[in-house]
Amino acid sequence: MPRGWARWAVLPLAPVLLYLAFPPFDVSLLVFVGLVPLFWAAFPATVPPDVAPAVSGPPQVSTRRRRPFGEQFTRGYLAGILFYVLHLHWLLKLSKDEITIPWIMIPALLVLGGFLGLFWGFAVGTAGWLQRRFRIHPMWGLPICWTLFDWFRTVGETGFAWGSLGYALAPVPAALQITSWTGFWALPAWIAVTAGLLWRAIFDRTAGMPRRIRFAVAAVIVFAAPIGFGLVVLHDAPSGVHIVSPEPDATGADRTATAAIGTPSAGPEDPASPLRFCLLQANTPREIKWEEDYRELVVADLLARTETAVARYHPDLVVWPETAAPLRILWEKHLAALTSSTIDSLDTWTLVGTLDAKRIEDGHSDPPQYEHYNAAVLFDPEGRPVWRYAKRRMVPFGELTPYKRLLPFLSEIDFGQSDFTMGTAPGDFEIYGDRELSCLICFESTFPELARGDVANGARYLVNITNDFWYGRSAGPVQHQHFAIHRAVENGTPLLRCANSGVSCVIDAHGRVYAATDLFVEEYVTADVLPGHGGTFYTRAGDWPLPLLAVVLLVGIVRGLRDRRRSPLAPPSPETER
């Protein structure tokens, strides 16, 4: 029988395996076995509580030591810290020029790992408590607790979804197709249940070999069934995407996508026809982008690139990255006029990533006070700004200080973060009068509910603009791209991703990626893309697995209470030996 020290020694294997499942290594299927060492370290194989025999006579005193909540929490917590420090190591690449305290990044990464690790700790500790108190076996208790705590950490102003296990599956489209029915939050539960079955099959010494074989077979079925479903869905699924050659014909107007994507084009005004998008990956250098002396040069460069894009490809919509115009472009009369006149001469729709602001009308401020926004502005073919959008979810401690209204002292902390106000309006916009799209800015692609709400409101395309140059040639930009893949599949809606320095790409409604760019290169990604069909079952039903898991947990608790009343003298399930 393994000693306690052996379980502590094996514990780091779980975060290391899970780290390898994500970029930069992308060994995606490791995510299904990564939790097995954590199960083994935190929940030693025991007699399942639901089959513990009732006994007559005086209560039996176990000679084995119960594992308290604190010890199980600690194991989950330490594993979580190690995982997040590894997974988010690219945060250390943030330039010293971007922060006011250059040495702060290593402590900040450790603090962030410590915060996010709490959710692992509470998931493991709560699953152990449910086992002791209500006889809910960890094979079922941990997947439910894991998923609910994982969702909870994405809620509120500190919401941060990085490292949720389901995102490791982004490079495997077959594994994602179930999310058009279930949404994202079924994936962590699926992964954890598979790992729990493997744990029982390999390490449950209380079960005979036939039963362990049944657990192994069940693990294979649970793992393979959603992937098999996905393969069937993908087998005959058209892409709806045609990447336009970088060497178009002389006129640039030949829509060669017609045959490739299987739908005749009746022009952009036809809601069933493809739209042609041109995504500008400008690769504007960080060293000049935010320098005031270069603002006009940066905008002029983007307008020149837009002219080139229109001349080569004749797109219906040109897309600039997040904050491509590093200023409040509508507030700068000269640059606003230059932008409008240039777009007017090109006769094409243009979505511009920029900054924006709104004066706070309280009648008392002197000088006037303003709310500042990370924004996008849509210019119509006449060069008029016809739609303005303010980003709805911000990067905590990067774009805003969370909960500063509840804790005013946080406003005094200056790590070099921005101070944006969160927008409240949906991200839907229209071109040609009836072609509906949605804009997601950067971090917003990590929140399933935003894309779902916009598609439910009528969007047939998702457009994600971002600027990930802060973290250099690292896993960060690739991890960020993986969120966008999920949003497309969940809603059965194609997604166009335009990043300043990469990764720019086109993602079809089934999560297949086209024309993904390298990092830190200048690119024009141009594609004819068919619209989505109005969403999926998930788009209409929402995150129904979350309340379902809560109900299942409640039923388990009620059952455990009933069994305790019927067999009050049943001994506690054996715990691990010291």
For the question of whether the overall pTM of this predicted structure is more than 0.75, the answer is yes
C-alpha to C-alpha distances, 358 to 328, 337, 369, 375, 538, nearest whole angstrom: 11, 20, 9, 12, 35
Q: By C-alpha distance, which of 232, 214, 130 is closest to 177?
A: 232
Q: What single letter denotes the amino acid at residue 337?
A: A
CATH of domain 276-529: 3.60.110.10
Contact 564, 55 (CB under 8 A): no
Contact 317, 348 (CB under 8 A): yes
End-to-end CA distance of the chain: 10
Report the pLDDT value the prediction gives residue 328, as an integer from 0 to 100.
Answer: 94
Q: By C-alpha distance, which of 321, 316, 264 is closest to 517?
A: 321
Cis status of the peptide bond prior to 2, with omega within 30 of 0: no
Per-residue HEC secondary structure of 160-179 comes to CCCCCHHHHHCCCHHHHCCH
3 state DSSP class of 371:
strand
Which residues contact residue 61 at a Cβ distance below 8 angstroms, ignoring those fewer than 6 apart? Answer: none
Segments making up each domain of the chain, as ranges = 4-235+541-566, 276-529
Contact 333, 305 (CB under 8 A): no
Q: How do the pLDDT tens digits run along the chain, 578 residues long?
A: 456 788 899 999 999 999 999 999 999 999 999 999 999 999 975 544 444 443 333 434 343 455 589 999 999 999 999 999 999 999 998 876 666 666 788 998 999 999 999 999 999 999 999 999 999 999 999 999 999 999 999 999 999 999 999 999 999 999 999 999 999 999 999 999 999 999 999 998 777 889 999 999 999 999 999 999 999 999 999 999 999 986 544 444 444 444 345 444 456 767 789 999 999 999 999 888 888 889 899 999 999 999 999 999 999 999 999 999 999 999 999 999 999 999 999 999 999 999 999 988 765 666 778 899 999 999 999 999 999 999 999 998 888 888 777 767 666 666 555 788 999 999 999 999 899 999 999 999 999 999 999 999 999 999 999 999 988 999 999 999 999 999 999 999 999 999 999 999 999 999 999 999 999 999 999 999 999 999 999 999 999 999 999 999 999 999 999 887 876 544 444 443 33
